[in-house]
Amino acid sequence: RDVLLSARGLRVDYFDQAEPVHAVRDVDLTLYRGETLGIVGESGCGKSTLVTALTRLERPPAVTTSGTVDFHGDDGPVDLLRLGERELRALRWERIAIVFQSAMNALNPVHRLGAQFADVLRLHRGLSRSDAWQRAGELLAMVGIPADRARAYPHELSGGMRQRATIALALACEPDLVVMDEPTTAVDVVMQRQILRQVARLKRELGFSVIFITHDLSLLIEIADRIAVMYAGRVVETGQARQLYADPRHPYTAALRSAFPPLHGPRREITGIPGSPPGLRHPPAGCPFHPRCPQRFDPCDQEVPPLLGGEGGEVACHLHDGLRASREPHESHEP
Ligand code: SF4
Ligand code: MG
């Protein structure tokens, strides 16, 4: 399959304390062209830090300390970690666009909506003022906002409209990749569904790839082709969305599934995940999930499970790496 973005050995550390805090640890992640990759995990697991590093938007005290992030554009792969500010600016909007959790932060409150679209379109697309305003209206209409709302100020729109407007703005230059960090957290469930449907439709029509971050695994079933589950700064499971949801292999993925009811399908009893995610400063030794894991066994608190598998799916858990089998007493040893 055609790779669009591939991260290898990515590490992000926070340098605001005496000791660096490892927020993202040796993450390998591949995004294929045209797919929606969901990244899921509880807050503080490093998922936002990971995507700011992937898109080179991390700011001190966060520093990407090692790894590569190859972006496969038309002229072959470039390592985003090696690009200067000018080259990065050229990539943003046109190749990679980002939609953040809070639409209020993305939109300038003192400028009319259309003016913000027009700025981006004139700078990156060289459109004239009137063409840019015209295009702004078309882009807004694409996400179900009447074109004449281009004259509105952000505060004159509802939260759901503002969030859809930021999605339209991200699509203004027809990027290859749109990164969405919890884009529906601030809106109600009805609006959430409407936004997800719109994103799926636009993706089909325009052919971009999506990285979609959320803490809600059930939401990803609606939109993701593949899912990566993060815990304590690491990717602990990847797989095809339906497969991973139907048959989670990592006990943490199973716990996340129980914590969020599916938007469609039979209702299940919701069980929260006992315990809380570990602080990144002093994560537990061995498997970081072991203090909360109902299936932990002897070496889980000492040995970090490696992420093993291939394109079909990967998992970092001793239940699946042969360690469990090797620790179980053999029948022949019994008296
Ligand atoms: Fe649970 Fe052990 Fe697997 Fe970690 S490695 S998730 S503690 S069984
Ligand atoms: Mg976040």
Mean pLDDT for all residues in the chain: 90
- pLDDT score for 194: 87
Write out pLDDT tens, residues 126-165: 999 999 999 999 999 999 999 999 999 999 999 889 989 9
Tell me, what CATH number does 313's domain have? 3.40.50.300
What distance in angstroms lies between residue 237's CA and the mean position of ligand 2's atoms?
19
What distance in angstroms lies between residue 234's CA and the mean position of ligand 1's atoms?
14
Neighbours of ion ligand 2 (CB under 5 A): 48
CB 14 within 8 Å of CB 23 = yes
Query: ipTM higher than 0.90?
Result: yes
- pLDDT score for 52: 92
Residue 331 has pLDDT above 50, yes or no: no
Write out pLDDT tens, residues 36-82: 999 999 988 999 999 999 999 888 999 999 999 999 988 889 999 99
pLDDT band at 188 (very low <50, low <70, confident <90, very high): confident
Is 270 among the domain residues? yes
Say how many domains are in the chain. Answer: 1
Minimum-distance ligand to the CA of 254?
1
Residue 18 has pLDDT above 90, yes or no: no
Tokens at 5, concatenated: 């973005």
Residue range 234-245: average pLDDT? 97
- Residues 271, 257: Cα–Cα separation, whole Å: 9
- Residues 300, 285: Cα–Cα separation, whole Å: 9
Task: Give, using CA atoms, the residue closest to atom 3 of ligand 1.
Answer: 317
- Residues 124, 117: Cα–Cα separation, whole Å: 11
- pLDDT score for 104: 54
CB-defined site of ligand 1, < 6 Å: 250-251, 287, 289-290, 293, 295-296, 300, 305, 317-319
- pLDDT score for 328: 59
Task: Give, using CA atoms, the residue closest to atom 8 of ligand 1.
Answer: 296
Is 285 among the domain residues? yes
Minimum-distance ligand to the CA of 319?
1
What distance in angstroms lies between residue 318's CA and the mean position of ligand 1's atoms?
6
Task: Determine the atom of ligand 1 nearest the C-alpha atom of 236.
Answer: 6
Is 242 among the domain residues? yes
- Residues 63, 147: Cα–Cα separation, whole Å: 41
Residue range 216-240: average pLDDT? 95
Count the neighbouring beta carbons within 10 Å of the beta carbon of residue 149: 18
Is 121 among the domain residues? no
- pLDDT score for 14: 95
Is 168 among the domain residues? no
Is 29 among the domain residues? yes
- pLDDT score for 241: 96
- pLDDT score for 273: 85
- pLDDT score for 322: 84
- pLDDT score for 169: 93
- Residues 120, 175: Cα–Cα separation, whole Å: 13
Helix, strand or coil, per DSSP, at residue 115: helix
Is 231 among the domain residues? yes
- Residues 183, 201: Cα–Cα separation, whole Å: 16
What distance in angstroms lies between residue 233's CA and the mean position of ligand 1's atoms?
16
Minimum-distance ligand to the CA of 297?
1
Task: Give, using CA atoms, the residue closest to atom 1 of ligand 1.
Answer: 296
- Residues 297, 73: Cα–Cα separation, whole Å: 45
Is 175 among the domain residues? no
Q: Which domain holds residue 9?
A: 3-84+212-331
Residue range 280-302: average pLDDT? 93
What's this model's pTM, rounded to 2 decimal places? 0.92
Residue 105 has pLDDT above 90, yes or no: no
**Which of 230, 250, 300, 314 for mutating ligand 1's site (highest number of atoms within 8 Å of CB)?**
300
Residue 252 has pLDDT above 60, yes or no: yes
